[in-house]
Amino acid sequence: MVNDIGSKLKALRTMKELTLKELSQKTNLSIGFLSQIERGVTSVAISSLDTIAKALDADLSYFFTMPKKRERKVLRSYEQEVFTIKNSQFIDYHLTLNPDTMDMLPRLQVILPNCEEEANDPYGHDGEEFVYVLEGILTVNLDNEIHQLYPGDAMHFDSRKPHNWTNCTSKNVKVLVVNTPNKFKK
């Protein structure tokens, strides 16, 4: 269990692109203690884990969900589970049974209405991104150029270019997103 919590913490911290030092500053927990948790060499109190979860915009239950044995090849639509909720706007569902062994990370993202300026601050990271709009109208800021994507529209770009997207409508937007590299691959 300690190893599971540690590996989940490291995966989530890495996905959020935070260093141990940055997480330490957000939680007031020492870098050494956080490192020990990630390596599974120490246990952590629930109150400290709750502080860590809040700093990473995650639910405390994230650390306690047990991974399912995934020997099957098909992920049924009714089996999709919420993986993360970011900024109370982006709801991510992994579309793979094996996120820790594959090079690509496909996910379904539901974007709630929110067209605030700061919600669309562009950022870059290593890899490539593919976005395909399933429902709604997606507003994409790519390299300081605004694009409106409609159902059936797609974008494929170098993730190092500053980018972000939002939903400036009154209805939810659903997109298929595929990233490389997969930050969850072990």
Q: CA 78 from chain center: how many Å?
A: 20
User: In this predicted structure, what is the pLDDT of residue 81?
Assistant: 78
pLDDT tier at 40 (50, 70, 90 boundaries)? confident
Banded pLDDT at 70 (limits 50, 70, 90): low
- The encoded tokens of residue 107 equal 């996910």
User: Helix, strand, or coil here: 58?
Assistant: coil
Where is mean pLDDT largest: 54-63, 70-79, 91-100, 129-138?
129-138
Cβ-based neighbours of 141, under 8 Å, separated by 6 or more = 120, 122, 147, 162, 163, 164, 165, 166
Give the chain's domains with CATH numbers. Answer: 2-63 (1.10.260.40), 77-180 (2.60.120.10)
Residue 149 confidence (pLDDT) above 60: yes
Chain centroid to Cα 84, Å, comes to 6
- How confident is the model at residue 66, as a pLDDT? 56
Residue 123 has pLDDT above 70, yes or no: yes
Q: Would you say the pTM of this structure is higher than 0.85?
A: no
Percent of the chain with pLDDT over 90: 37
Distance between CA atoms of 167 and 156, rounded to whole angstroms? 19
